[in-house]
Amino acid sequence: MDAKPDGSYHPPRPALDGLRASLDRNALAAAREYETLRLRLIQFFDQRGADDPESLADETIERVAQDLQDGENVEPLRSYCFGAAQRLWREAASQSARQAVAEMLAPSFAGANGLQERRTACLERCLMDLPAESRRLIVAYYHGPGRTPSERQQLLARQLGLSEEELRRRALRIRDEIEERLRRDPMAR
């Protein structure tokens, strides 16, 4: 990414020019369309509770501009942009979920000489060994939509049709199961 001194971002010039030309033939109208698209992408990520919606919007624009430059069929352009945003959101959410669960278990992750990497790999195996429903619940519990843990848990409880207390009990059982699996895994030591 090409960050400017003021912290703003702009894709490489040829890719950006191609994207703007695809938005409108008139340079001024294209610049306005670009800003509107960027603001809508920021809103898209913000509504999903992204930590840094601006960076994700910029990354989406960069990917679309590069796809355009590489000759990909990006028509209709706005739909393609939001498809790219959805893919990026899934990537970011997946990465964030792994980080959130790792942070959840951070006290047991202290160590040196590659121990943390082994424990992280063990944690990922433990997560993959969980039933899909349990894995989705624990990941959403610690890193689902919502700006705060409380808001995240309220939204998840409503989505699952559970009381917040029942959701907490389920999440605690799953977390205990993960911690037990980590204790039994010889690679985590």
Considering 40-44, 89-93, 106-110, the range whose residues carry the highest mean pLDDT is 40-44
Q: How far apart are CA 37 and CA 53, in angstroms?
A: 13
pLDDT at 6: 44
Residue 73 lies in a domain: yes
Q: What percent of the chain has pLDDT over 70?
A: 78
Instruction: Give the pLDDT band (50/70/90) at residue 130.
Output: confident
Of 97, 83, 182, the closest CA to residue 139 belongs to: 97
* 86 in the same domain as 59: yes
More confident: 34 or 147:
34
155 pLDDT higher than 70: yes
Please answer whether residues 49 and 145 qualify as being in contact, where contact means their C-beta atoms are separated by less than 8 angstroms: yes
pLDDT at 114: 64
CATH of the domain at 145: 1.10.10
* 87 in the same domain as 149: no
- Look at residues 72, 93, 114 and tell me which one is the last residue of a structural domain: 93
Residue 6 lies in a domain: no
* 72 in the same domain as 43: yes
- What's the chain's average pLDDT? 79
Q: Provide the residue range defining the domain that includes 25.
A: 13-93
Into how many domains does the chain fold? 2
9 pLDDT higher than 60: no
98 pLDDT higher than 90: no
4 pLDDT higher than 60: no
Q: What percent of the chain has pLDDT over 90?
A: 17
8 pLDDT higher than 60: no
Mean pLDDT of 154-170: 91
Q: Is 178 exposed, middle or buried (0-12, 13-18, 19+ CB in 10 A)?
A: buried
